[in-house]
Structure 1
Amino acid sequence: MNYHFRQASESEVPKIWEIIQQAIVRRKNDGSQQWQDGYPNEDVIKQDITKGIGYVLIDDNIVAGYAAILFNDEPAYEQLKGAWLTNGDFAVVHRVAISDDYLGKGLAHKIFLFVEDLAKGNNIFSIKVDTNFDNIPMLKILEKLGYTYCGEVTFRGSFRKAFEKILPIS
């Protein structure tokens, strides 16, 4: 399969929202509390796209996955209980979701690799991410990709594990 990663368009909101809803159900079925409080919602996805931070993983013109990618913009990360590996420029990955039609193909992993390329293309060599303590699939992906646990951040009143990966300068 020949996947590519690009900024999402407004016309893709319905498909992206469908994928997010599938992920919400998966988190619930996994016993996770993540995304069980009405967040993210369709308005959040629309805002991502308006801000230019919504990205889609495409397989032959089909939206297979979604992520929000921010640069140097996550106020919650300033209040880390712990220590980041770096203090310079960084990319942030939020709202990673894969379509039910594409599960088991390693696409969340692939999204993170595309994010690494995107960051390096912007001369950024640090990626920061957080997830719920009980989001086991994401915790396994972060471990497999070499992310380092750095501490806890608080989002909407709940603690989340925070990770960072320093990218090699090539």
Structure 2
Amino acid sequence: MSEYSFRLAKAEEVNAIWEILQEAIDRRKADGSVQWQDGYPNLQVVAKDIERDAGYVLVDGDRLVGYCALFIDDEPAYDDIQGNWLTDGSFVVFHRVAVSKDYVGKGIAQQLLLHIESFARNRKTPSLRADTNFDNAAMLRIFEKLNYKYCGEVVFRGGSRKAFEKVLH
């Protein structure tokens, strides 16, 4: 797929991952977005992801270039979608997608999503679900490019978010 490798994050990488997330938080703010401007995500969230074996990193050699959290059939907010999911079965949900500032504009977020697809396929999970803020133009473009379908809105941490699903064949 690429020269990048995708693997579980290690506990000793929590600070490097948090640095990548902080850079992404700053970029969201600079873009005028309200997403991630309220103290979430934070270092404790990342540490919990890693503890639950849900934190994954994209690595270029020995350098962390991207991060996400992956969960299988585990997003209670998705039970109350204002709209309809494409499937009723098992799904992989991903959260906290972030790319190192040194790798922005190099297609790393898209690479990360392609690795998430492989993760789901390897586990015979038939679909991917995700949500994003209405003003996250970069992620909305990636969802469109990778053929995610808009399914409606979900309320996540008190705010309405656009929800997407991609059915894997």
Q: Secondary structure at the match of 1:23?
A: helix
Q: Percent identity?
A: 55
1:27-47 C-alpha deviation (Å, 9 max, x unpaired): 001111100000000000000
1:88-120 C-alpha deviation (Å, 9 max, x unpaired): 000001000000011111010001100110101
Letter in 2 for 1:157: G
Matches within 5 A, 1:45-84: 45-84=46-85
State the match for 1:40 in structure 2. Answer: 41
Can you give the 5+ residue segments of structure 1 that lack an aligned partner in the other structure?
none
State the match for 2:13 in structure 1. Answer: 12
In structure 2, how many angstroms separate the alpha carbons of the residues matched to 1:115 and 1:2?
15
State the match for 1:24 in structure 2. Answer: 25
In structure 1, how many angstroms separate the alpha carbons of the residues matched to 2:102 and 2:126?
32
Deviation at 1:125, TM superposition (A): 1.5
Matches within 5 A, 1:95-106: 95-106=96-107
Deviation at 1:156, TM superposition (A): 1.3
State the match for 1:115 in structure 2. Answer: 116
Residue correspondences, number? 168
In structure 2, how many angstroms separate the alpha carbons of the residues matched to 1:2 and 1:152?
35
In structure 2, how many angstroms separate the alpha carbons of the residues matched to 1:76 and 1:122?
23
State the match for 2:144 in structure 1. Answer: 143
Q: Secondary structure at the match of 2:65?
A: strand
Q: Secondary structure at the match of 2:153?
A: strand
Deviation at 1:10, TM superposition (A): 0.4
Q: Secondary structure at the match of 1:120?
A: helix
Q: Secondary structure at the match of 2:109?
A: helix
| RMSD after superposition | 0.7
In structure 2, how many angstroms separate the alpha carbons of the residues matched to 1:79 and 1:54?
25
Q: Secondary structure at the match of 2:32?
A: coil
Deviation at 1:2, TM superposition (A): 1.4
Q: Secondary structure at the match of 1:123?
A: coil
In structure 1, how many angstroms separate the alpha carbons of the residues matched to 2:165 and 2:65?
25
In structure 1, how many angstroms separate the alpha carbons of the residues matched to 2:127 and 2:162?
17
In structure 2, how many angstroms separate the alpha carbons of the residues matched to 1:163 and 1:3?
25
Q: Which runs of 4+ in 1 moved over 6 A?
A: none
Q: Secondary structure at the match of 1:91?
A: strand
**TM-score, length basis structure 1:** 0.98
In structure 2, how many angstroms separate the alpha carbons of the residues matched to 1:60 and 1:127?
27
